[in-house]
Every structure is written in C-alpha cells, then in structure tokens.
Structure 1
Amino acid sequence: MTDRILDCLMAINLDVTIWTARRKLTPADFGGAELPPEELASLGSKRVCNPEELKVFGMLKARAVSLLDRHGVRFLGGWGIPADKAEGLVEELRKIQSEFAAAKTDFLSRYDQAVQEWISRHTGWEQLIADSTVSADYVRSRLGFTWQVYRIMPPGTNTPIDEGLKEEMRGLGNTLFDEVAKSASEAWHKSFAGKLEVTHKALSPLRTIQQKLAGLTFIEPRVAPIADLIQTAFASLPRRGMIRGGRLLMLQGLVALLRDPQALIEHGQKIIEGCTPAAILDGLLAGGCAQVSSCPNTVPQDVGQDMPVDIAEILDADDGPVFPEDLPDARPQPVLPNCGLW
C-alpha cells in the first residue's frame, strides 16, 4: 500500500524567507531605565522599516501556499502532490518566484530611502531606529523564494526504521479529509449559511475541493467516491442563473457533509459498497440520515414531509426555479436536520 502511494506521490518543500524588519529591543534603548530581570520578562522588538513595504512578499508566499494546498496534502512538513501534476505546479511556482524576485529588486533599490522615511516619521525615536538599521546586503540575504521537489524511497527493511514513514502514510487519508472539511467550513460560512439563493461563484471552492480529491484518489480508496459525489452534484445544477430551492438545499447538505471528515469516510464507504452518488444526494435533499443509510435508488417518497406543505410543493414542482418571493413569508424556512454534520 505504501509503495503504491509513493509511486504516485511526490513531495515538495516550500522554502520562503521574508525579512521581518524587526530588531530586538535592548536595555540600552531605554536609556538606563530600571527593567525587570530577564527571567521575569523579556523585551520585545522594534521595527526599523515600514512593514507595509514588505507586505508584497507575504502575499506572494500566501499565493504559493494556496497553490499547493489546492492540489496537494500536507506531508512531511511540506506537501504531497500528484506526480503527474508536479511539472505544472513547479511552473506556477516559477511565476510566483519571478514576481518575488522583481519585488525584492524593487524594494532593495529604495531600501535606504524607505528606512530614512521611517526614521523621519517617528519624531523623538530617530536614534533608537538609526542604531538598529541593517545594510541592504543583509536584507537581500533574508529574502528568498525556493522549493525542493523529491520522491520518497522507503528503507524497505520492515524494521522499526520504517515505522515513522508508514505511520505518516497511514494518516494521509485522514489529513486529506481534514483539509477538505476545513475548506468546506470556510465555504459554508462565506457562501451557503442562511442563504436562499447563491450564484455559480459559490461553487468555486467546491470545484477546488473536487479537483483536489480527483488528483489524490490514490491516497485512500474512499477519496474517489467523494470526488464523484461532488461532480454528480455539479451535473444536477443549471448551467447558468441563480441556484435556489431544492438544488440549493442539496448543495447545503453536501457542504455540511464535506465539513465532517468522519461522515466523508462513511459516505465514501457506502458508495464503494454500492450506494450511488445520486442516491446520497437524494438523501441529503430529503434531510434524513435514515434515507442515506439505506441508500435509496430513487428519490424518497417522504421528501419534504417535515417541511410546511406549501414549501414541499414548491420543491417538488417541475415548473422552474424557486424564487424567494415564492416562499411563504410567515412560515419557517426548511432546515436540513444536522444528523451530526453541523
């Protein structure tokens, strides 16, 4: 199992260093004032350059981390990525690296001026800053953007030497589902919680999750079924326009499912055992865990029974999308039973 995963997996380590523009405060900075002993309290730091000047480097690092998070899974202090995507990901990293290098050159070209402007901005503290400044060459050595891609080769000895790597590999599936749950929770709060309608833009994080799972199906047998489940949900949606009514309820149920790593494992196993993705989605729309557990092959007859009758009629109608003005004003809105999912 470990060898099969490692045949499809490559590891990547992102090594980005950013100068913080901070120097440690010293007792001399306080002009001989009495300070508590170091065992009781430690001094903080002072900024010797405007932190706004360095924001671009943090943004570029965040872009690189986001890129690897979208396609890989955290592994050995870096990321495990599909071997067949390594070349494309490295090409994207090269683009970010080029932007980082250009920003570095630009910043260093005006570094001395930036420091002087920072000193002038803080009247009365000029000497404190001036005494702690560093050279442009020092800053240059503290700004870097590199990465390393490598394959993992197990010792192949079946001794305790192997155990650390084997344990890491056994946990990859759980790590992946935990990452999916985190992304789904962010999508829930940003785009789905309490909404009566959403645009297709709300599907973007779900597409990212689906593509990530589809690229990492070799990690765990239940990954592919969850990727298929999301793709089946996409196929049931209209190509354009607002997403409302039963379709939105189905999506909300799907996102709630994606937020629970254990539920993902259980539903992935159900699909492996013969339950269809469409049946899972029908169960989510019905709002009952019993229907999902029994894996219906058709839409359950009791869909909407726990909802106000006119809302159930709206969801069952075949005459087009549901609009907010069609919903009864004085009645509670349908809520999917959480079934422990949210």
Structure 2
Amino acid sequence: MMNTDTTVLDNLIALNLDVKIWTARKKLTPADFGGAELPPEELASLGSKKICDPKELRIFGTLKARAVNLLDRTGVRFLGGWGIPEDKADEIVTELTSIRADFLNAKAQFLSRYDEAVKDWIVQHPGWENLIGSSSVSADYVRSRLDFRWQFFKLVPPTDNVVGHGLQNEMSELGGTLFDEVAKAASDTWKRCFEGKDKITHKALSPLRSIHSKLAGLTFVEPRVVPVVDLLDTAFNRVPKRGYIVGSALVMLQGVVSLLRDPATLVTHGQKMLDGQDSTEILAGLVADTIQPVPEEAPSKADFVPEQSTQHQIDSHGLW
C-alpha cells in the first residue's frame, strides 16, 4: 500500500482544526486542604477541582465533535490534521463556518451568565464555598480559552530527497490510513445497521453512502480506491429502489460491509478489479451459490437465490 508519488499533493490540501475548550478545572493545591499533611509530590499528585458545572460546557465539545465528524467523512487523517480533497475545500469551509457560528453563539451565551453559573455551582456544594470561590477566574479569561479556528495548508515537497523523507513517509501511509478509517466506519455501520437483521430499510444505506462519498473524493490517494468505489456503485444499483431490503440483496450488502471491515481483504479485491475482475463478479461471491440446507427443526426465514456464480466467494467470517 506504499504510495510515495508526491503528485498526490496536487489534489490534496492539509487542514488543521484548532478548537480551544475551557475545562472549568483548576489544579488542587495543598492550601485547599487547610494545611493537612499530604504525601510528597513524587509519590502522589493532586487532582483538579471544578469551578463551574461541566454540563455548562458540554455544547462546545458537541460542536467540536460535529467538526471532527465532518472532516472524517470528507478527508483522511494526515500530518496531525486532515488531508482534504482540494475541490472540497469550499464546501468544508462553508460547513465549518456554520459550526463556528454556533460555537461563538454558545460562547456568548455562556459568558453572559458565567458569574451566575459559578454562583449556582457554589450553591450546589454547600461547605465548599471557599474552595470554589478562591479558584474562580474572570469572564475575560474564560473568553480567551474558548475559540474555534482552522487553517488550510498547501504542501510543496522539498526537492532534496533527504529533507523530504519525512513527508514521503506520511504520503506512503495515506492509502493505509484511508482503508483503516473505512474499516472503522464499516464496523460501526455493521453494528448499528446490519448485525442480526433479516431486513433493513434504505436508511441503513446512509452510512455506506457516506463511505462511498469519502472514497470517491480521495481516489487520487491510492489506485485501489477507484475499484472499491465502483464496487459500491454496483451494489447500490442492485438494491431495490423501494421497500425493505431483504434476501439476496441484504446478504450482498452484508458481504460488502464485511469486505469494507477488513482492510487487507479490501485491498486484495481492489487489486483484483484493477487486474480485470468485474465488480459484479465480486458481488456474486458475496451471495451463496445455492440455497443452504436447513435442519427441519430450524426452518429458514428466507431463501437466498444468487444472481451469479460464486466462483470468487469470500469468507463470511461468521457474519451470516
């Protein structure tokens, strides 16, 4: 999965997400315990005290998670941030700008009642007024600790191979990182939408379409990404347009998700398609060649009739 072709950078733009969230915590000090004897610092360290209800700050973590989810859906982790398809940069900026607006609005609302929030926290913890009150900070300090920014970078590789070695290493891992991220998303999709199901709705296809969109935007990262995108296109086209998805169509999708969950197998099948194997052949291998015999005491709920030969059948890994 090595790809050190720096022309990938022609289509990739690096993004750093810089979100600061105040934790409402301060380090405990010996003075907080009224001079009580404490163990030496090399033996044990003091924890922290909360000077405001952490629930008041939950919205900021939620908004940061929204931004991270957006970037994970579109880009691939790269250089401590994300590698984003350059043609998606404007779209990303529009969505990040919307999230930032929500963040700044929440910040203004929190700061407008910050003093009241601290007082409420003190009331909720009678007997500890001094501990909380002596540690409170100003609203201006809190304002400086809440921020939402991002930076884009266009990378130009050094002409000296020795100097550029580190960047080449990062480039060589992009394809593997991308397939690993797809595997993680597919595993989550399996648990939420496919595990133990004998029928699903079209809503269950939404996370698969997100995976497809991510891969389609990053086809320049790794040659074997393109056939995986084609495989998903073929799978979507073979699903009925309306109603529940059951029978062989469901088994096919279960097989596709199983394939996506295994990066090594996914790369292998991507290479097979690059070598000429048709995506319909791959999909045919995900459905049993014949109806499996079922013991009389355990009748089957549905018969799965394959649409094609299973010459290239893959292991179900016990998923169906």
Asked whether the two chains share a fold, i.e. TM above 0.5, the reply is yes
| Cα distance, 1:239 vs structure 2 | 1.1
Whether 1:28 aligns to 2:41 is no
- Asked if 1:61 corresponds to 2:64, the answer is yes
- Is the contact made by 2:22 and 2:146 (CA closer than 8 Å) also made in structure 1? yes
For structure 1, which segment, 199-208 or 65-74, has the greater mean C-alpha deviation from structure 2 after superposition? 199-208
1:164 aligns with: 166
Q: Could you tell me how far apart the structure 2 residues matched to 1:128 and 1:222 are?
A: 59
Q: Residue in 2 aligned with 1:289?
A: none
1:337 to 1:308, Cα distance in 2 relative to 1, 3 A? farther
2:193 is matched with 191
Deviation at 1:307, TM superposition (A): 4.0
Structure 2 unmatched ranges of 5 or more: 308-313
The answer to whether 1:285 aligns with 2:287 is: yes
Contact 1:13 1:149 in 2 (8 A): yes
- How many angstroms apart in 2 are the aligned matches of 1:314 and 1:340? 18
Name which of 135, 147, 150 aligns with 1:147.
150
Partners of 1:26 and 1:43 within 8 A in 2: yes
Distance (Å, rounded) in 2 between the aligned partners of 1:112 and 1:31: 26
Q: Secondary structure at the match of 1:34?
A: coil
Provide, for residues 117-163 of structure 1, a one-character-per-residue CA deviation record: whole Å limited to 9, x for no partner: 111110111110001000000000000000001101111122x2111
Work out which of the residue numbers 39, 50, 54 in structure 2 matches 1:51: 54
Distance 2:160 2:318 in 1: 43
Q: TM-score, normalised by structure 1?
A: 0.86
Contact conserved, 1:259 with 1:341, CA < 8 A, in 2? Answer: no
1:312 and 1:135, CA in 2 relative to 1: closer, same or farther beyond 3 A? closer
In the alignment, the residues of structure 1 paired with residue 228 and residue 254 of structure 2 have an alpha-carbon distance, to the nearest angstrom, of 16
- The 2-side partners of 1:30 and 1:317 are apart by 72
Q: Could you tell me how far apart the structure 2 residues matched to 1:132 and 1:19 are?
A: 14
Picking from 100, 107, 111, the partner of 2:110 is: 107
Per-residue deviation at 1:337? 4.3
Amino acid at match of 1:338: S
Cα 1:127–1:272 change in 2 (3 A) is: same
What is aligned with 2:250?
A: 248
Out of 221, 228, 231, the position equivalent to 2:230 is: 228
What is the aligned length? 308
**TM-aligned CA distance change 1:248 to 1:195, over 3 Å:** same
Q: Deviations over 1:278-333 (max 9, x none)?
A: 110110112xxxxxxxxxxxxxxxx1254439859832299xxxxxxxxxxxxxxx
Please tell me whether residue 338 in structure 1 is matched to residue 311 in structure 2.
no
Q: Which residue of 2 aligns with 1:293?
A: none
**What do residues 30-77 of structure 1 show as CA deviations (whole Å, max 9, x unaligned)?**
112221111111111010001111011001000000000000000000
Q: How many Å separate the matches in 2 of 1:313 and 1:196? A: 8
Residue 314 of structure 1 is matched in structure 2 by: 303
User: Aligned to 1:81, what secondary structure does the other structure show?
Assistant: strand
Q: Does residue 263 in structure 1 map to residue 252 in structure 2?
A: no
Structural RMSD (CA): 1.9
Do the aligned residues in 1 keep the contact of 2:227 with 2:274 (CA within 8 Å)? yes
Q: Could you tell me how far apart the structure 2 residues matched to 1:124 and 1:312 are? A: 64
Distance 2:20 2:5 in 1: 33
Structure with more relative contact order (C-alpha pairs < 8 Å, separation 6 or more): 2
- Given candidates 3, 8, 27, the residue that maps to 2:11 is 8
Q: What letter matches 2:227 in structure 1?
A: P
**Counterpart code for 1:171:** E
Code of the aligned partner of 2:305: D
**How many Å separate the matches in 2 of 1:37 and 1:313?**
68
Once the two structures are TM-superposed, the CA of residue 338 in structure 1 deviates from its matched residue by: 2.9
Normalized per residue, which structure has more helix?
1
Between the aligned partners of 1:149 and 1:256, the Cα distance in structure 2 is 35
Report sequence identity in percent. Answer: 59
Q: Which moved more, 1:187-196 or 1:75-84?
A: 187-196
TM-score (norm 2): 0.92
Paired residue for 1:304, among 282, 290, 312?
A: 290
- Answer yes or no: is the 8 Å Cα contact 2:247–2:302 preserved in 1: no
Which residue of structure 1 aligns with residue 125 of structure 2?
A: 122
Change (3 A) 1:2 1:340: farther
Q: Which residue of 2 aligns with 1:95?
A: 98
Does structure 1 retain, via aligned residues, the 8 Å contact 2:291–2:304? Answer: no
Unaligned runs of 5+ in 1: 287-302, 319-335
